[in-house]
């Protein structure tokens, strides 16, 4: 028996949780980038590592939350919204990011090697774009497994995760590591929504106490390394996901929550474009400061990446450049009546 799941609707706490995730992702890349450039270990690295048990698991689980409302669509429509949609943005932003990096790559490795690297990026995800590459695969596999009992697929996905195969093939290794979280979002959505509703009526003081206890629990797991042991890491990931949901519910109505929700609502746009702004900001700040105040540079680069991407998405909306974040109708498999010339946003 399959539990009924709510119809697709935008929930504030979901956007807040996505906002938390995308900010943590950008912060991680900014911190690692500054560390690589300066050769200096930053204090922020400890926080980045602390967030590792739940950062991407939460992102993938949330990505699967509303799948039940779409999974029974005909294959043509499903592939259009769940594969072609992400493929369009992957190819577009792969080309944009590659074009920006190509001059340096050509100077270092030569034109032929650079071109080979671009072609290989269609098989091995390029840079930060691996997330949407993997999402498309998750959507296809989930639909293929639609007839199978949820408990059976979840159990198999958990075993694959615990086995942690290291085949050396990126898509295989990342799929086996992450699929359990995406499928959990789909299969356990009723429980997730019920948990969020329960958190909504829980007293703030009790929620804060619980979050403090979780923070301590997560810290012990990260410091001891238990949070990264295959199998045991699932516990820390799911507890962390629950904590992010509780936190998101707690702050939803505050100005801080609304800011996070805005980032979450446009999280794919941020994910696609943040490197375009983060990288140059880091380079300029490093030159201006001579590498001093590396932690401040990492934080400033994080802000530049997020704010730049959000500003760009706002500026191009409804203009000729809208194709950067909204898929044009001509790149759709399914063509709804009256939709001529319309676009499908990246966050769809």
Instruction: Identify whether the C-beta of residue 207 lies closer than 8 Å to the C-beta of residue 246.
Output: yes
pLDDT reported for residue 327: 94
Domain presence at residue 2: no
The answer to whether 31 and 44 have CB atoms below 8 angstroms apart is yes
Structural domain includes residue 7: no
Beta strands in 32-132 (DSSP E): none
Cα angle for residues 95, 100, 102 (degrees, 5° grid): 85
* Structural domain range at position 24: 12-345
Question: Which pLDDT score, from 0 to 100, does residue 343 have?
Answer: 62
Distance CA 270, CA 312 (A): 9
Q: How many domains does the chain have?
A: 1
Residue 268, in any domain of the structure: yes
> Does residue 250 carry a pLDDT above 60?
yes
Tell whether 3 is covered by a domain. no
Q: Is 5 a domain residue?
A: no
pLDDT digits (tens, 9 = 90+) for 112-128: 888 998 999 888 887 78
Q: Is residue 22 part of a domain?
A: yes
Round to the nearest angstrom and report the end-to-end CA distance of the chain: 29
| Residue 4: inside a domain | no
The alpha carbon of residue 133 and the mean position of all alpha carbons in its chain are separated, in whole angstroms, by: 11
317: left (phi over 0), alpha (psi -120 to 50) or beta: beta
> What's the predicted TM-score (pTM) here?
0.91
Give the pLDDT confidence of 192-217 residue by residue, as tens digits: 999 999 999 999 999 999 999 999 99
């Amino acid at each position: 028996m399959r539990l009924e799941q709510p119809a697709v609707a935008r929930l504030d706490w979901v956007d807040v949780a996505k906002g938390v995730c995308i900010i943590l992702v950008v912060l991680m890349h900014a911190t690692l980038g500054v560390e690589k450039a300066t050769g200096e270990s930053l204090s922020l690295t400890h926080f980045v590592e602390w967030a590792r048990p739940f950062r991407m698991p939460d992102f993938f689980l949330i990505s699967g939350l509303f799948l039940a409302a779409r999974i029974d669509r005909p294959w043509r429509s499903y592939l259009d919204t769940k594969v072609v949609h992400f493929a369009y943005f992957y190819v577009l932003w792969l080309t944009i990011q590659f074009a920006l990096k190509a001059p340096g790559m050509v100077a270092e490795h030569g034109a032929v090697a650079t071109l080979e690297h671009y072609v290989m990026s269609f098989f091995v995800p390029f840079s930060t774009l691996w997330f949407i590459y993997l999402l498309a695969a998750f959507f296809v596999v989930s639909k293929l497994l639609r007839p199978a009992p949820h408990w059976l697929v979840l159990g198999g996905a958990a075993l694959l995760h615990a086995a942690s195969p290291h085949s050396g093939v990126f898509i295989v290794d990342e799929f086996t590591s992450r699929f359990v979280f995406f499928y959990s979002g789909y299969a356990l959505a009723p429980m997730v929504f019920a948990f969020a509703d329960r958190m909504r009526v829980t007293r703030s003081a009790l929620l804060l106490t619980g979050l403090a206890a979780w923070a301590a629990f997560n810290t012990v797991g990260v410091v001891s390394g238990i949070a990264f042991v295959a199998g045991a890491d699932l516990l820390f990931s799911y507890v962390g996901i629950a904590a992010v949901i509780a936190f998101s519910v707690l702050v939803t109505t505050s100005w801080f929550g609304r800011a996070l929700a805005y980032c979450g609502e446009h999280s794919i746009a941020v994910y696609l474009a943040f490197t375009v702004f983060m990288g140059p900001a880091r380079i300029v700040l490093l030159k201006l400061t001579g590498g001093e105040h590396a932690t401040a540079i990492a934080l400033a680069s994080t802000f530049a990446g997020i704010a730049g991407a959000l500003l760009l998405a706002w500026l191009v909306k409804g203009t000729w450049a809208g194709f950067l974040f909204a898929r044009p109708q001509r790149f759709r498999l399914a063509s709804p009546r009256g939709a001529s010339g319309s676009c499908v946003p990246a966050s769809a």
